[in-house]
């Protein structure tokens, strides 16, 4: 019970301070699929090569590594093809889930799952593409850092 209260408190505080990050972070970093993300000062973004999706890695302070994969969001009823977006946070087997949350930030609904093997999954979809983030998160500080970065995801203004 206490763990749930602490986790809920951490997530609530992160949602409240997410807007403050833009004043202390570097400029928006463009990602595939029409997305952009705000990285903290000193963080690095690396685009990786994918066959039918757009993977990448974000490295931040203390060796934190966040992996992501961006794929085309399939419309309801349409066939799913390789490289298409599927919500990875919702697909973690229930016997492996420590906790799961869903929150809307900046118009995007984020699915967030923390697994028993201390891995954090954050998934969301935009108009045409979806993105799955995953990162090892051993400590509450790791969880906070991953959420601060991933929840800054936005679709580029057109």
* Summary mean pLDDT of the chain: 83
In angstroms, the CA 135 to CA 71 distance is 18
pLDDT in tens, 105-153: 988 899 999 999 999 999 998 888 899 999 999 999 999 999 999 999 9
pLDDT at 107: 87
Task: Judge whether 123 and 89 are in contact, CB under 8 Å.
Answer: yes
Domain count, the chain: 1
pLDDT at 126: 85
Range of the domain at 66: 2-155
Answer whether residue 13 shows pLDDT above 50: no
In angstroms, the CA 152 to CA 154 distance is 6
Answer whether residue 14 shows pLDDT above 70: no
pLDDT in tens, 44-99: 999 888 777 889 999 998 899 999 999 888 777 767 666 678 899 999 999 999 99
The domain that holds 72 is classified in CATH as 3.40.1000
Query: How far is residue 147 from each of residues 44, 50, 72, 86, 95, measured CA to CA in Å?
Result: 16, 24, 23, 20, 23
């Amino acid at each position: 019970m206490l763990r749930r209260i602490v986790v809920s408190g951490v997530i609530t505080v992160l949602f409240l301070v997410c807007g403050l990050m833009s004043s202390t972070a570097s400029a928006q970093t463009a990602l595939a699929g029409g997305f952009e993300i705000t990285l903290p000062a000193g963080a690095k973004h690396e685009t990786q090569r994918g066959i039918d999706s757009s993977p990448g890695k974000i490295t931040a302070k203390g060796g934190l590594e966040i992996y992501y994969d961006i794929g085309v969001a399939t419309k309801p009823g349409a066939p799913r093809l390789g490289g298409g977006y599927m919500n990875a946070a919702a697909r973690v087997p229930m016997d492996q889930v420590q906790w799961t949350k869903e929150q809307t930030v900046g118009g995007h609904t984020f699915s967030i799952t923390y697994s028993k093997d201390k891995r954090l999954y954050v998934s969301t979809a935009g108009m045409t593409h979806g993105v799955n983030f995953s990162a090892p998160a051993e400590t509450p500080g790791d969880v906070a850092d991953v959420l601060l970065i991933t929840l800054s995801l936005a679709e580029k203004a057109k």
